Amino acid sequence: MQTEDVRQHLTTPLTSPAYAPTVPRFTDREYLNVVYRTDPEALRAVVPEPLRIGEPLVRFEVMKMGDVSGYGPYTEAGQAIPVSFEGEQGEYLHAMYLDNFPATASGREVSAYPKVLGSPALTVDSGALVGTLDHGSLRVATATMGYKHHELDRREARAQITVPTFMLKTVPGYDGSPRVQELVRTRITDVTVKEAWTGPARLQLFQHVLAPLADLPVLQVVSASHILTDLTLSGAEPVHDYLKGAAS
């Protein structure tokens, strides 16, 4: 394989890439969002500067991807934390767990999503929308929401899922020290909200050393939403370089 051919590949193995070279379009992406109040000191321990925390809130999300170009259907769960950066309101993605390796590898390599493998699920059970996350054979999180109790204004639903998203990109060098360490920002675009609902909700988090969601404990459930949408993820852009100690 010639050098110019190698340069055309974004990932390995060269003859069987880990993921497709595509900008994914999500069709019928279904969200269960549960926003809860947590310990502010626990938040400060995990949110990196220069991001700033306001209210001590966390959004636990389970997302069931009906169809994704390049990856097919899969499910994802994780935690997002409301933050601000230079006066701009957004969310910091703290942890994400997926049941699809290409989407996991792509999210980490192409962008900066903190994705690892897990076993999330989103189902309906006896009048409740149920979102779960397992790590191996152990339950890590269980969220329940009344199934389609009250319609949610679609403009509000759109606002919930289109806030800027901040992530930490770290690429180690061969000596073990960071070669790249940046705060990056991305956005959701081309959004069509098909359905939006709200209702009562509960959330349980269980201790696990390799999936420490419970380190941000649930003190009070604030709100919940159930949203069905089509959307596209835009690329990431660096906004702060930790190795230079200044904005990019």
Active-site residue, from 115, 148, 194, 244 = 115
Q: What is the pLDDT of residues 146-169, one digit of tens each?
A: 999 999 999 999 999 999 999 999
| Pair 33, 225: CB distance under 8 Å | yes
pLDDT in tens, 41-87: 999 999 999 999 999 999 999 999 999 999 999 999 999 999 999 99
pTM confidence score: 0.93
Distance, CA of 64 to CA of 234 (rounded, Å): 19
- Mean local confidence (pLDDT), 217-241: 96
Q: Calculate the dihedral angle through the C-alpha atoms of 127, 128, 132, 138, rounding to the nearest 10 degrees.
A: -70
Active site residue 148: no
Report DSSP letters for 24-77, one per residue: -EEEEEEEEEEEEE--HHHHHTTSPTT-EE-S-EEEEEEEEEEEETTT-SEEEE
Q: Tell me: the pLDDT tens digits for 120-151?
A: 999 999 999 999 999 999 999 999 999 999 99
> Confidence class of residue 245 from pLDDT cuts 50, 70 and 90?
low
| Rounded-to-integer distance, Cα 218 and Cα 144, Å | 14
* Cβ(113)–Cβ(100) below 8 Å: no
Share of the chain above pLDDT 90, in %: 88
For residue 133, CA distances in Å to 39, 62, 143, 148 come to 22, 8, 9, 21
Look-up of token digits 């010639």: 2
Structure tokens at 183: 């705060």
